[in-house]
Amino acid sequence: MKRTNTCGELRKSDLGKEVCLQGWVRFSRDHGGVAFIDLADRYGITQIVFDPADLPSETDASRISDVMKKFTRESAVSVNGVVRERVEGTADARNPTGEIEVLISDAEILGRSKIPPFEVGDQKEGVLPNEDVRMKYRYLDLRRTEMIEAITIRSRFMHLARQYLESKDFLEVETPILARSTPEGARDFIVPSRVHSGTFYALPQSPQLFKQMLMVGSIDRYYQFARCFRDEDSRKDRQPEFTQLDMEMSFIEEKDIQDVIEGLISFVWDGLYGKKLEVPFPRIGYTEAMERFGSDKPDMRYGLEFVKLTDVVKDVPYEIFQRIMKSGGIVAGINVSAELSGGKIGRNDIDRYINYAKKVGLGGLTWMKIQDGVPTSNITKYFTPEILEGIKNEMKAEEGDILFLVAGPWKSTYEGGGALRKKIAEDLDLVPKDVFQFFWLVDCPMFEVDPVSGKYDAFHHPFVKPLGDIDGKACGGACFDICLNGNELGSGSLRINDPEIQKAVFRKLGKSDEDIEEEFGFFVEALSYGAPPHGGIAIGVDRFITIILGKETIRDVIAFPKNKKAVSLLDNSPAKVPEDKLEELQIMTLSIDDLDFETVEESEEE
């Protein structure tokens, strides 16, 4: 290689060395005929200097000067020169190469750049161009230090995970991208078959069925960095295609899967940060998580826990609560203590939270402030003094504390309450930074029942092993989630390995025997050839990297993401397909003129 060093490599110990650096012209400035250039690559930035007076002849100087006139910003260039110490007082302590510079003896342009649409150098906060511009010119965006760091950590993570799993006898196996639908709760992306017109493949929402069939096939420890495709609205932590570290094991119990993940994450953590993580990770049951934190992936780094009040207010004359409790709903409260808020929550803030509560699906929000020892607000007249005293005691409320009460059906009320809890914590700056709290969510239900239609839905997916009678009340499932700082990193479970139970679960989910045969006949059959007890898990790689790097969205850790409207602005996909190609596939489309890819509106809500 002509390049002798990277732009992040040279130090004072290299003084006097003849080097060749190749990289991009980040900034250049001219001081009376002497040019200073910041030459950048993914490893760092080195200052290079063109000083005509230091070159052997004028001819050399003018030849190099002519070449360097083409050194526009972000051009790829090559320079030869000698490493020398920077003039006293000009060293840059923030840059590891900041004590030296390279005095140019020769220069070559390798790839000239047009004027870049935005400045690639490290941006001060708020100066970054809008995300769509960065997406459109992602190759330029990738040159930014922040992006290089994300891509590097991602690669390190994948490498370390592979190293760990291979050491534990896991085999990496690829599973098909063109396949039959795998139900993970989203819509499928479908791909037409040319050979069998009128039929379609589905892109996998996950490799679930294939990894289970690998277990039937005796590959008792499998993993894969699997690309998954789910057609759902994009959000900060989702986009149409994403990567999972997918795993499956045979002859195991729940704890064996959790042990492997704890071992893996600790190994990765040590490799990335040189720090030990405390294992085992704590466990919290689903019901407890919902009732204390209003979430099945609670952020437990701060308090603001819910307190159940249904018993305390059961005889309250307040009609709204009575109606809710009679139809099986709950009343719960959260105490925003004066100590936490510094007494900063005023009437306007309360109104803001009432509006927010409506936005997150709560019917309303009841509030009280402890004044002169008593819960006080415009509705306390509907409460008896004993009940008010009961609320105050149950919520351990003190003078000046604000109590927010939520009421309604169990699930939606706790979920809405959880969103409110998060909002309050963010407003009051209660969320600690740089604390990583892993935990397992356990004791999950097998099904969820739609309160309106009464229809059963799988809590995770239909392949989870039920714990007990599936027709019994509140049947549990052998499934669990791993969570980090209020995010679900991944889900896992023990699976059904008995074909009859698998069919029974499908029936419970409303499938007829014909549907089962048509959609999953092949899979049920596979289970009937000595399927071992097995289970597995999948960890969202994009999400994991996003959280550990403290990024806003998973788009920041994916080299070529789709934008908020599921569009790749770089290659303008999805795109129209020429008529003849569609004819070949025997597909007719309605007109899709006037596609407006640039207009972005996204629900960033969870």
* DSSP labels, 405-466: EEEESHHHHHHHHHHHHHHHHHHTT-S-SS---EEEEESEESEEE-TTT--EEESS-TTBPE
Figure out which of the listed residues 100, 213, 387, 537 binds ligand ASP, where binding follows CB under 6 A. 537
Q: For residues 380 and 491, which CB has a smaller minimum distance to ligand ASP in the complex?
A: 491
Figure out which of the listed residues 360, 492, 502, 516 binds ligand ASP, where binding follows CB under 6 A. 492
For ligand ASP, which stretch binds (CB under 6 A), given 60-68, 130-138, 534-542, 568-576? 534-542
Q: For residues 261 and 430, which CB has a smaller minimum distance to ligand ASP in the complex?
A: 261
Residue among 589, 438, 542 at smallest CA distance from 230: 542
CA 176 to chain CA centroid, Å, is 24
Query: Please, which residues have CB within 8 angstroms of residue 418's CB and are 6 or more apart in sequence?
Result: 290, 293, 294, 295, 298
Check residue 206 for interaction with ligand ASP (CB under 6 A): yes
Q: Is 130 exposed, middle or buried (0-12, 13-18, 19+ CB in 10 A)?
A: exposed
Taking the complex as a whole, how short is the minimal distance between the CB of residue 538 and ligand ASP, in angstroms? 4
Of residues 165 through 184, those in contact with ligand ASP by CB under 6 A are 184
Figure out which of the listed residues 5, 366, 493, 568 binds ligand ASP, where binding follows CB under 6 A. 493
Q: Could you tell me how many residues of this chain bind ligand ASP (CB under 6 A)? A: 10
Check residue 212 for interaction with ligand ASP (CB under 6 A): no
Q: For residues 101 and 248, which CB has a smaller minimum distance to ligand ASP in the complex?
A: 248
Figure out which of the listed residues 216, 538, 548, 558 binds ligand ASP, where binding follows CB under 6 A. 538
* DSSP labels, 29-90: EEETTEEEEEEEETTEEEEEEE-GGGSS-HHHHHHHHHHHTT--TT-EEEEEEEEEEPPTT-
Figure out which of the listed residues 536, 541, 547, 554 binds ligand ASP, where binding follows CB under 6 A. 536
Q: For residues 38 and 262, which CB has a smaller minimum distance to ligand ASP in the complex?
A: 262
Of residues 50 through 89, those in contact with ligand ASP by CB under 6 A are none
For ligand ASP, which stretch binds (CB under 6 A), given 104-112, 466-474, 486-494, 507-515? 486-494
Hey, is 480 helix, strand or coil?
A: strand
Spell out where 485-541 has E strands.
Answer: 487-494, 534-540
Q: For residues 244 and 380, which CB has a smaller minimum distance to ligand ASP in the complex?
A: 244
Check residue 258 for interaction with ligand ASP (CB under 6 A): no
Residue among 536, 448, 543, 532 at smallest CA distance from 489: 543
**What one-character DSSP code corresponds to residue 236?**
T
Check residue 413 for interaction with ligand ASP (CB under 6 A): no
Query: Please, which residues have CB within 8 angstroms of residue 529's CB and are 6 or more apart in sequence?
Result: 216
Q: Would you say 296 and 289 are in contact if contact means Cβ atoms under 8 Å apart?
A: yes
Q: Give the CA dihedral 21, 24, 27, 30, nearest 10 degrees.
A: 50
Q: For residues 313 and 505, which CB has a smaller minimum distance to ligand ASP in the complex?
A: 505
Q: For residues 413 and 493, which CB has a smaller minimum distance to ligand ASP in the complex?
A: 493
Figure out which of the listed residues 22, 224, 335, 491 binds ligand ASP, where binding follows CB under 6 A. 491
Check residue 208 for interaction with ligand ASP (CB under 6 A): yes
For ligand ASP, which stretch binds (CB under 6 A), given 17-25, 50-58, 485-493, 558-566? 485-493
Taking the complex as a whole, how short is the minimal distance between the CB of residue 227 and ligand ASP, in angstroms? 12
Handedness of CA 85, 91, 93, 98 (dihedral sign): negative
Residues that bind ligand ASP (CB under 6 A): 184, 206, 208, 244, 491-493, 536-538
